[in-house]
């Protein structure tokens, strides 16, 4: 997992390198500026460059880049947003080395004469909503025609959370120093960062930061148990799916197929008895258990004991796909969740059943639990609005994990896997093909399969998220993301898992 840093962790590392490892701050800034200049030169090989500098070290990086680009023969205009003498002393030293014209006071009109703009205004030292004059300058950079490249973090994006509380700059690329900050991978910040390019700035290994955030990569599949010649259908992973209601039989079917395509060797669907035929015709390889229902195609609370017995020897349970909001089915969920003594994934209407009861029910569980809410579901669980959740995705995912003691997979292009202890893993996303009905059911089934194979819960959740995104990309490869359907994603799972 590639570590992601909070602004405070980056500062701590920076101080450690300077104080304990005798790395000069000038050296760090030189490397940062060099990395920044390199990316600017590669992305904008010709034309005028405008570098917009703040008064902190982020501005200092901009000054270094200006020097190196001028030395390489480029036309560079340096805009100082505050009087240059207000710059910190580290940046002042760089300013003295700047050849050619000195910084001009920021001039919005001149931005349009540039081919590329460098945002070296606010970095990890920024806190809160941008204040003037930074706020106005951010709006001008945003309005300018030229593409913007950010030094370390787009100005206006909170490096630690990805929150954007005021004006911010949409960049084509962000040059992250040493390591990316969380904010470039979490929406809404992610939408401002563009391509993230990481440059090394000379911070030695072994520093004090113990990042509790990381980016999910292909490595999560390394430890996934694979079938071997001695495997049986049961040892490959036995998943039990609980859900389905009249009109909602596709969801549990897709979870079941996804679990099988993700490697589970034995999958059973427990659903209202009157719907048995729909499952039987659709699912050739999965088992079906018809459960007591209310007569109109919804699971009934009276099925509790029979359901628990049917779950029997399953290695993992997926609860919720297609369950419906029927009060009987919902009360069944509340009754069985504490009694399912295997790892459990709760999705969709399984989550809705817990609204108002999360703190009472989930911490009672003796086995690992994975919740897979999208923002609307998470908002209901936390008694807030989806807009509020979208504004602070990380905070809400962590809050839900802390109060439920479950792993929370907060879905989105930047799916966050939050652990009850505060650690978080983030998906790179970029699988627009997944924006279609049923892909959530697929994800729940895949995570169920990973849990059933015996993977530790954090790895199972991350492996499921990774495989799902890969499958979404593979499904979109032939003709693009439009027209991808959840069944295509299921079909692509074996390829995604072999990658
Ligand atoms: N971390 C490293 O190893 C290195 C980082 N470098 C770069 O330095 C910045 C962080 O620099 P810092 O001086 O701490 O802060 P900033 O440049 O981000 O600027 C803060 C600056 O802005 C003012 N300010 C703070 N909040 C606001 C606000 N909401 N509105 C307006 N103004 C605000 C504050 O008063 C300061 O003056 C890091 O990102 C890297 O780019 C080094 O160059 C190399 C080593
Ligand atoms: K910046």
Q: pLDDT tens digit string along 122-170?
A: 999 999 999 999 999 999 999 999 999 999 999 999 999 999 999 999 9
Digit-coded pLDDT (tens) for 273-319: 999 999 999 999 999 999 999 989 999 999 999 999 999 999 999 99
Q: Quick: pLDDT tens for 427-464.
A: 999 999 999 999 999 999 999 999 999 999 999 999 99
Q: Which domains does the chain have, with CATH numbers?
A: 2-213 (3.40.50.10260), 218-498 (3.40.1190.20)
CA 183 to chain centre: 10
* Residues, CB within 5 angstroms of ligand 2 (ion): 119, 150-151, 155
Strand order in the sheet with 344-346: 2-3, 213-215, 424-426, 416-418, 407-410, 369-371, 344-346, 316-319, 238-242, 266-272, 287-291
From the CA of 88, which ligand is nearest? 1
What is the Cβ-side half-sphere exposure of residue 180, based on CA atoms within 13 angstroms?
Answer: 28
**345: enclosing H helix or E strand:** strand 344-346
Tokens of 284: 């050739």
Bridge-based pairing of strands 195-199 and 213-215 is unpaired
Cα–Cα dist 258/263, whole Å: 9
CA angle 195, 197, 200 (to 5 degrees): 170
pLDDT at 14 over 80: yes
Q: How confident is the model at residue 209 (pLDDT cuts 50, 70, 90)?
A: confident
| Average pLDDT over every residue of 345-374 | 97
- Residue 172 phi/psi, 5-degree rounding, is -80, -25
- Which pTM value belongs to this model? 0.97
Distance (Å) from CA 339 to ligand 2 centroid: 51
Average model confidence (pLDDT) for the chain? 97
Residue nearest to atom 14 of ligand 1 (CA): 125
Nearest protein Cα to ligand 1, atom 15: 125
408 is in an annotated binding site: no
- Relative to the alpha carbon of 127, which ligand is closest? 1
Residues with CB under 6 A from ligand 1: 10, 14, 28-29, 32, 54-61, 88, 122-131, 134, 151-152, 177-178, 201
Q: Which ligand is nearest to the CA of 178?
A: 1
User: Is the CB of residue 71 less than 8 Å from the CB of residue 99?
Assistant: yes
129 annotated ligand-binding residue: yes
- Atom 45 in ligand 1: which residue has the minimum CA distance? 28
Cα of 125 to ligand 1 centre, how many Å?
3
What is the ipTM for the molecules in this complex? 0.98
Residue 127 marked ligand-binding: yes
According to the model, what pLDDT value does residue 404 have? 97
**How many percent of the chain have pLDDT more than 70?**
100
Determine the distance separating the centroid of ligand 1 and the alpha carbon of 66, expressed in angstroms.
17
Residue 72: burial class (beta carbons within 10 Å; 0-12, 13-18, 19+):
exposed
């Amino acid at each position: 997992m590639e570590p992601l840093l909070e602004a405070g962790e980056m500062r701590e590392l920076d101080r450690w390198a300077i104080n304990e490892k005798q790395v000069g701050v000038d050296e760090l800034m030189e490397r940062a500026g060099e990395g920044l200049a390199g990316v600017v030169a590669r992305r904008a090989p010709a034309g005028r460059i405008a570098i917009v500098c703040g008064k902190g070290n982020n501005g200092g990086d901009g000054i270094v880049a200006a020097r190196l680009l001028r030395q390489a023969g480029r036309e560079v205009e340096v805009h100082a947003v505050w009087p240059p003498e207000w710059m910190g002393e580290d940046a002042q030293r760089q300013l003295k080395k700047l050849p050619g014209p000195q910084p001009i006071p920021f001039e919005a009109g001149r931005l349009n004469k540039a081919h590329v703009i460098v945002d070296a205004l606010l970095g990890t030292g920024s806190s809160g909503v941008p204040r003037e004059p930074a706020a106005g300058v951010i709006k001008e950079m945003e309005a300018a025609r030229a593409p913007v490249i950010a030094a370390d973090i787009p100005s206006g994006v909170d490096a630690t959370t990805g929150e954007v509380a005021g004006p911010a700059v949409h960049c084509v690329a962000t040059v992250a120093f040493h390591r990316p900050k969380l904010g470039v991978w979490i929406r809404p910040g992610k939408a401002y960062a563009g391509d993230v390019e990481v440059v090394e700035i000379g911070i030695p290994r072994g520093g004090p930061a113990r990042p509790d955030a990381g980016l999910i990569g292909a490595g999560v599949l390394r430890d996934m148990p694979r079938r071997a010649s001695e495997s049986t259908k049961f040892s490959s992973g036995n998943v039990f799916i609980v859900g389905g209601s009249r009109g909602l039989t596709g969801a549990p079917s897709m979870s079941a197929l996804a679990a099988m395509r993700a490697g589970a060797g034995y999958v059973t669907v427990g659903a209202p008895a009157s719907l048995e035929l729909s499952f039987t015709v659709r699912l050739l390889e999965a088992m079906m258990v018809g459960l007591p229902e209310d007569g109109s195609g919804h699971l009934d609370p009276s099925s509790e004991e029979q359901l628990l017995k049917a779950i029997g020897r399953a290695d993992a349970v997926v609860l919720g796909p297609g369950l419906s909001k029927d009060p009987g089915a919902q009360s069944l969920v509340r009754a069985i969740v504490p009694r399912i003594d295997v790892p459990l994934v709760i999705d969709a209407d399984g989550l809705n059943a817990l609204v108002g009861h999360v703190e009472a029910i989930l911490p009672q569980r003796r086995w690992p639990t994975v919740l897979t809410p999208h923002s609307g579901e998470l908002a209901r669980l936390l008694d807030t609005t989806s807009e509020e959740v979208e504004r602070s995705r990380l905070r809400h995912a962590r809050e839900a994990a802390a109060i439920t003691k479950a792993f929370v997979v907060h879905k989105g292009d930047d799916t966050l896997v939050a652990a009850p202890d505060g650690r978080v893993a983030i998906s790179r996303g970029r699988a627009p093909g997944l924006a279609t009905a049923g892909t959530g059911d697929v994800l729940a089934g895949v995570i169920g399969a990973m849990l059933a194979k015996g993977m530790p819960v954090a790895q199972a959740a991350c492996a499921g998220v990774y495989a799902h995104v890969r499958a979404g990309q593979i499904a979109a490869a032939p003709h693009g993301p439009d027209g991808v359907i959840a069944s295509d994603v299921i079909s692509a799972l074996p390829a995604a898992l072999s990658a």
